[in-house]
Structure 1
Amino acid sequence: MSLKFFPSVSPSAIALGTAFTHGTNLLLSAPLFGSLYDRSKTIDTPEEFIKSKEAAGALAVWGSSLIGSAAKTYAVAALLQSTGTITQKGAIYLGTLLFAISTVPGAFVNVFAEKRPLDYILAKVVSELLDTVGLAAVLNWWGTRPDIV
């Protein structure tokens, strides 16, 4: 497979989108980082803190969120560019379609099969709305083509 089939995307758009998506993902991870902060206050030495399970968990969440954010940003930017989307309205439509195919089925499973709490489902839906519709709007506003930026 050749890389020429992948659309080129502006590095600044990838950086901005990664920061945006990573930030929205960390909103859901706030309880994890809160427990990490509480644990850090009770530990005497930095070495002991680094070896704690809270620190390892937080590092894993942070790292996977960063890598996933970059991949999602490139994918959305490539879709915007490949479809020729130039208006905010079009970007919002594209983001809504991405939301529908990626989040709606899981939300139905969470509501009807797993019977998760409503606040959990609402937090996931809002986060995914920001990750899809918000990301598409931000990337379209910024510009995804390397020749424009």
Structure 2
Amino acid sequence: MSLKYFPTVTPSAIALGTAFTHATSLVLSAPFFGSAYERAKSADTPEEFLKSKEGAGAIAAWGSSLAGAAAKTYAVAAILQSTGTITQKGAVYLGVLLFAIGSVPGAFVNIFQEKRPGEYIFIKLASELVDSVGLAAVLNWWGTRPDIV
């Protein structure tokens, strides 16, 4: 496998997109981190909290969310470059397509197989739509291509 087939993306675009994606994913997991924060405040020392099961779970969730955000950012930036998307309208369309690919099948599973509440499904789809479309728009606005001299 050769890395020459992967498009180059500016590090600043990856950092900005990672922060955007990580922030939107933390909105979904805010209740989890909120309870972990309350437990951390009630612990005697920070080291005691970090050694607890809740602390380890919070750190693992935060780290995996950050790594996933970076990978998703690179993938969306690479798709923007590979497709030659230069307008915001095109980036929004691309974000909607990425949303449809990544989230709609899971919504059908949540509706018909798992029979989740409608509010849960709506909130999850809305946040994933904001994440997908927003990430594509932010990356397109920022610019993903390195300056070629």
Q: TM-score, length-normalised on structure 2?
A: 0.95
Q: Is 1:109 matched with 2:109? A: yes
- Partner residue in 2 for 1:23: 23
Does residue 126 in structure 1 map to residue 122 in structure 2?
A: no
Residue 109 of structure 1: CA displacement?
0.8
Q: Provide Cα deviations, 1:79-100, integer angstroms capped at 9, x if missing partner.
A: 0000000000000111111111
Separation in 1, partners of 2:57, 2:127? 20
In the other structure, the counterpart of 1:97 is 97
Aligned length: 148
**Does the CA-based 8 Å contact 1:35-1:54 persist in structure 2?**
no
Asked if the contact 1:111–1:121 (Cα under 8 Å) also holds between the matched residues in 2, the reply is yes
Distance 1:58 1:46 in 2: 13
CA distance in 2 between partners of 1:46 and 1:93 (Å): 45
- Flag as ranges the 4+ runs of structure 1 deviating above 3 A: none
Distance 2:126 2:60 in 1: 23
Partner of 2:84: 84
1:37 maps onto 2:37 in alignment: yes
Q: Equivalent residue for 1:63? A: 63
Consecutive unaligned residues of structure 1, counting only runs of 5 or more, are none
- Quote the Cα distance in structure 2 between the aligned partners of 1:23 and 1:115: 28
SS of the residue corresponding to residue 44 of structure 1 reads coil
Instruction: Provide the identity percentage.
Output: 78
The residue identity in structure 2 corresponding to 1:91 is A
Letter in 2 for 1:62: W
Once the two structures are TM-superposed, the CA of residue 123 in structure 1 deviates from its matched residue by 2.1
CA distance in 2, matches of 1:83, 1:3: 18
Q: CA RMSD in A?
A: 1.1
CA distance in 2, matches of 1:118, 1:53: 32
Distance in structure 2 (CA, Å) of the matches to 1:130 and 1:15: 18
Normalized against structure 1, the TM-score is what?
0.95
Task: Please state whether the residue corresponding to 2:100 is helix, strand or coil.
Answer: helix
Q: Distance in 1 between matches of 2:126 and 2:51?
A: 34
Aligned residue for 1:141?
141
- 1:122: how far off? 1.8
- Give how far 1:20 is off: 0.2
Return the alpha-carbon distance in structure 2 between the equivalents of residues 134 and 51 of structure 1: 36
